[in-house]
Amino acid sequence: MPVLQANNLHKRYPGRGRQPVLALDGLSIEAEAGSVLALLGPNGAGKSTTVKILTTLARPDSGQATVAGYNVLTQAELVRRSIGLVAQKSSADPMATGQENLVLAGRIHGLGRAEAHARARDLLARFELVEAGARVVRTYSGGMARKLDVALGLVHRPRVLFLDEPTTGLDPQARRQLWHEIERMTGEDGMTVLLTTHYLDEADQLAEHLAIVDAGRVVVSGRPEDLKDELRGDALTIEFTTAEQARSGRAVLARLPLQDVVVEASRVRARADIGPEAVPAALSVLESAGLAARSVTMSRPSLDDVYLRYVGRAYTAEAA
Amino acid sequence: MAFTAPAPAGTLTDAVLLTGRSVRALLRQPAYLGISLIQPVIWLLLFGQLFRSVIDIPGFTTRSGDYLEFITPGVILMTTLFSACWAGTGYIEDMNLGVMDRLLASPVRRGAMMAGALAYQVLTTVVQALIVFGIAYLAGARFAQAGRGIPITLLAAGLICVIMASLSNAIALLVRQQEALIGISQFIVLPLQFVSGAIMDTRLAPGWVRHVARYNPVDWAVVAARQSLSAGTDWGAVWPRLGALAALAIVMAALGTRAFGSYQRSA
């Protein structure tokens, strides 16, 4: 039985003086116990609204959801006892030390004084924050504060942990460190994790199951490997010198049996059933049209290709 | 099958923990702490000097004949009013920091969150009031009934604090913006202060002011405090006003707690 389930969630925000904003448009997801489910999508796709509803911070206009077996609307208090939340923004009290933040979080979740202190020490050690634990959080770096946020979400050993864009704003090294901690945590503690992200590589690295969210609904879900395997053939990336050449190249390449041909700045991306045959064919038609490709790359389909296939547009940094 | 979640701490424990969090934060901001404590002292000495001659106005009623003794409970209530009206800034800061959502997604009851915030405000109010009493004593004020008057003044100040801080917290949860809270607070605070006997005997004010002051909780608290500190206390003027303040405090704290529902609905 899924430990987390949302069914046909709808949510609309009043748009102050403008049209109402449709945040969720029939979103449905589920996650089995002990798994990591990633919600992948650009900003405004509905990921954070989903997290708000599942953590009882917001109410859906319609639809149902259960977390740890409890209804988020009618058993909100029991849901809150069962979950940990690591929100998009760092949510530690900046005027308290790391240790004090963890002890307070433990106490309000029902841990006794001694147990809360012991748990805080354990988590500070686990997240390599022992020395920083006695300092007020406003002195922490972004990476340290984020690790403390994750520790705060774990202090009461929740059944379900929500990680809302946990690595947004971190430098690459801090991101990798946090990924390592998340992997270790889910592997060791066996909790169910709902992770939202707009980083394709993050979803690929951490999630056992993936739901791509766009415009408030899930457009496709499954295991990342299965989703990529469903895209038969190979991904081609053809680099041109200018965006204009890339647009001309796309028109020329339309003569070939390629799928999902899109232009991204000065490059054309496409999918071919048999890559090794498609590459010389593509170079040939481009050459006959007087277009010179700077490079051609062939690879196995990635989550970018999965996103393109199901959402109908490339996953760009601008969208995210 | 539902997961058996651990039992959360009780409402009282949560409220105490959250009060402790606020007190700790205050103690770590010595400049803010210093200003909070010095401000009422400045008001006391400033107003005490500025208006000391008003006791000579015919019709001004003060039993001791000393304006400092007259204004001391007024300054305490004014300080309480101003401090409590800014209470909501703490909630807005917590919203901006993400602390509010983390607490709301935890088992902490909304009532405990409100009680913790109010207890912190009352605690700071009591400390400020005791400092004002101390400075007034050093400046020469002598209250006929300090033994019972000081606790009653602290009670009245605490109740005003709960009323206004509940209102401020509720506004913060509804508007979520510092600027809006500041504007609304200023709109409320000044009329409440001036349409009361905090710094002037309302019997010298126009009739309509005296009439409006009868419905002003700040005036109720000022009258109760001043009467309890004076010789020949009119208890008929003290207990009904304290009772009304207590009832209003309960209602406002309950309404403030309900504002969390509005915050959640618009999230």
Predicted complex ipTM: 0.87
Buried b (16+ CB within 10 A) or exposed e, A40-63: bbbeebbbbbbbbbbbbbbbbeeb
| pLDDT at position B61 | 66
Q: What is the Cβ-side half-sphere exposure of residue A261, based on CA atoms within 13 angstroms?
A: 19
Considering chain B, what percentage of its residues have pLDDT values greater than 70?
Answer: 95
Spell out which residues of chain B touch residue A83, defining contact as CB-CB under 8 Å: 105
Q: Quote the crossing angle between the two packed helices B110-138 and B146-175, to the nearest 10°.
A: 140
| pLDDT for residue B35 | 87
What is the reported pLDDT for A318? 44
Q: What pLDDT, on the 0 to 100 scale, is given for residue B36?
A: 84
pLDDT averaged over chain B? 90
Of the candidates A219, A218, A189, A222, the one whose C-alpha atom is nearest the C-alpha of residue A208 is A222
Residues A143, A144, A147, CA angle at the centre, nearest 5°?
90
Q: Which residue of A has its CA nearest to B2?
A: A69
pLDDT of residue B1: 44
> Mean pLDDT across the stretch B167-194?
94
Distance set, CA B186 to CA B70, B86, B130, B193, B219 (Å): 25, 10, 26, 11, 18
> Which has more confidence, B197 or A162?
A162
- pLDDT class for B265, splitting at 50, 70, 90? confident
Alpha-carbon distance values, B139 to B48, B72, B135, B142 (Å): 10, 11, 6, 9
The answer to whether the beta carbons of residues A296 and A319 sit under 8 Å apart is no
Give the list of residues 6+ apart from residue A216 with CB closer than 8 angstroms, or none.
A11, A22, A23, A24, A25, A26, A27, A45, A46, A49
The residue ranking higher by pLDDT, B6 or A112, is: A112
* Residue contact A95–B97, C-beta within 8 A: no
Asked whether the beta carbons of residue B98 and residue A89 sit closer than 8 angstroms, the reply is yes
> What's the rounded mean pLDDT across residues B91-108?
95
Determine which helix (DSSP H) or strand (DSSP E) holds A37, and give its type and residue range: strand A36-40
Q: Decide: A236 and A272 in contact? Cβ < 8 Å.
A: yes
CB atoms closer than 10 angstroms to residue A254:
11
Q: What does the pLDDT profile of chain A (320 residues) look like in tens digits?
A: 789 999 999 999 887 666 888 999 999 999 998 889 999 988 889 999 999 999 999 999 999 999 999 999 999 999 999 999 999 888 999 999 999 999 999 999 999 999 999 999 999 998 889 999 999 999 999 889 999 999 999 999 999 999 998 888 778 887 888 888 888 777 777 789 999 988 888 888 889 999 999 999 999 999 988 888 777 788 889 999 999 999 999 999 988 998 888 888 899 988 888 888 889 999 999 999 999 899 998 888 778 778 877 887 766 544 44
> What tokens does A1 get?
């039985």
- CB atoms near residue A302 (< 10 Å): 17
Q: Give the mean model confidence (pLDDT) for residues B138-143.
A: 90
Task: Using pLDDT thresholds of 50, 70 and 90, give the confidence band for residue B257.
Answer: very high
Please report which confidence band the pLDDT of residue B84 belongs to, taking 50, 70 and 90 as the band edges.
very high
Q: How confident is the model at residue B55 (pLDDT cuts 50, 70, 90)?
A: confident
Looking at chain B, which residue has its C-alpha nearest residue A112?
B9
Distance CA A196, CA A37 (A): 8
Q: Which residue of B has its CA nearest to A1?
A: B1
- Given this model, what pLDDT does residue A320 score? 45
User: B264: which chain A residues are within 8 Å (Cβ-Cβ)?
Assistant: 56-59
> Mean pLDDT over residues B202-216, rounded?
89
Distance between CA atoms of residues A165 and B200, nearest Å: 57
Question: What is the spatial distance between Cα B91 and Cα B180, in angstroms, rounded to a whole number?
Answer: 13
Looking at CA atoms only, how far is residue B256 from chain A in angstroms? 18
**B81 pLDDT more than 90:** yes
What is the structure's pLDDT at A180? 84
Q: Does A109 touch chain B (CB under 8 A)?
A: yes
Q: How confident is the model at residue B6 (pLDDT cuts 50, 70, 90)?
A: low
What's the pLDDT at A7?
97
The 3-state DSSP class for residue A97 equals strand
Classify residue B24 by burial, with Cβ atoms within 10 Å: 0-12, 13-18, 19+: middle
Total-model pTM? 0.84
Residues of A in contact with B28 (CB under 8 A): 95, 136
Tell me what percent of the residues of chain A surpass a pLDDT of 70.
96
Mean per-residue pLDDT for B166-176? 96
DSSP assignment letter at A171: -
Distance from CA of A77 to the nearest CA of B (A): 6
Chain A, 39-68: which have a CB under 8 Å from a chain B CB?
Answer: 52, 55-59, 68
Task: Work out the pLDDT band at B64, boundaries 50, 70, 90.
Answer: low
Residue in chain A closest to B28 (alpha carbons) equals A95
CA distance to partner chain A, nearest, from residue B111 (Å): 13
How far is A242 from A250, CA to CA, in rounded Å? 13
